[in-house]
Amino acid sequence: MSIRAIRDRGAENRTHRERKEAYTASLESEVVQLRANEARLSQEAKTLYSEVTFLKILLTENGIAIPERPEVTHGGARGGNVEKEKTIALTIGQENKRKNRRKQIYVQQMPREPPTSPPQLITPPLSGSTGSGYTSSTFPDSSTICMGSLDPEIVGMDFVLTLESPCLPHIDVASPHSSSSDTDPPTSTGHALTVSACLFHHHPSPPGQRQLSPATWEVPHASIDQLLALSGSVPLQDGEVTPVQAWDYVRRQEQFTGLEAGRWESLKLSLTSLVQCHGFGGVIERSAFENAVFEAFIAVLTAALYWKKS
């Protein structure tokens, strides 16, 4: 082996070690923060419980009957149906293209009212997914849909999950122990700060079997921003972009709301092909990422300039 090859391998080992140390430090920081939040919320809950108990005693001592808990409608008035927490349904799908058989977590937007049509599955069929049996006849022509007409939180979650899809086999790892007891220590995957790992934590199937499961599971809609914020704290080398950072960059483009859904799907596929995983979640080389985004938005910018001149 040449001296140069030895030096290159040594540099790679140092880079990997530095990544691992930074990743571990980031996880430790998150654990400390989560424990602090848990302690704070626990104390707040105890305080509120004490206040409620005191108020109940005060009402009873003054001969005032404790009222039943009122039902709240969507508009905030009493009576009617109780407003349920808005949730997002997730399912595992697989690309049906010959050159690409990757699986990923797909997002469905669950309606508040009983559905009169199938739920909106954000990614298929534009990217050719076979997930959940949805077909292109369920959806309007993608050329007539612009990103500004879609729920940005759902679009963002789908975008991040698509870019994290190459890492899905690294995340869904079975426990090395033969039993699936709750007391078994979790398997370290190095992907704890990814959005996909956080969502898989709520999957009804045990680790190692989730990619093969046809089950649909739900997560609170309000947790999306928290998951994206958590995943944005992944330590990086200079010149790299995580899927969450990629979404934050793209959504801030002035032409984003006018981008056609078809071009958006093409951009996602283009960026997914650029994803590399070094054992701690997928990243994209920054210059390649920015070039792909520029190519996707140049058509929107050109059209805007044309209409402005005319």
Q: What is the mean pLDDT of residues 276-280?
A: 83
Q: Residue 251: CB partners within 8 Å, gap ≥ 6?
A: 152, 156
- pLDDT tens digits, 228-249: 666 666 666 678 898 988 998 9
d(CA 208, CA 94): 17
The least confident of 48-52, 120-124, 223-227 is: 120-124
Q: Do 274 and 295 contact (CB within 8 A), yes or no?
A: no
Higher pLDDT, 164 or 96: 164
Q: Do 96 and 129 contact (CB within 8 A), yes or no?
A: yes
Tokens 């404790």 -> residue? 66
Collapsing DSSP to helix, strand or coil, 244 comes out as helix
- pLDDT tens digits, 157-175: 899 999 999 988 888 877 6
H-run or E-run covering 270:
helix 261-272
**C-alpha separations of 224 from 138, 150, 154, 158, 231 in Å:** 26, 16, 8, 11, 11
> Per-residue pLDDT for 33 more than 70?
no
Question: What is the pLDDT at residue 281?
Answer: 83
Which tokens is 14 given?
């140092």
> Per-residue pLDDT for 51 more than 90?
yes
Q: What is the mean pLDDT of residues 268-295?
A: 91
> Per-residue pLDDT for 291 more than 90?
yes
Burial per residue of 259-284, b for 16 or more beta-carbon CB atoms within 10 angstroms, e otherwise: bbbebbbbbbbbbbebbebeebbbbb
Higher pLDDT, 182 or 308: 308
Determine what percent of the chain falls in helix, strand and coil, rounding each to the nearest 5.
50, 10, 40
Which one-letter DSSP state was computed for residue 219?
E
For the whole model, what pTM was predicted? 0.68
Residue 141's pLDDT band (cuts 50, 70, 90)? low
Computed on alpha carbons and rounded to an integer, the radius of gyration of the chain in Å comes to 24
Share of the chain above pLDDT 70, in %: 61
Q: Do 271 and 160 contact (CB within 8 A), yes or no?
A: no
> Per-residue pLDDT for 130 more than 90?
no
Question: What is the pLDDT at residue 304?
Answer: 61
- pLDDT tens digits, 183-203: 555 567 778 778 888 888 888
**Cα dihedral sign, 37-198-265-214:** negative
What is the average pLDDT score of the chain? 74
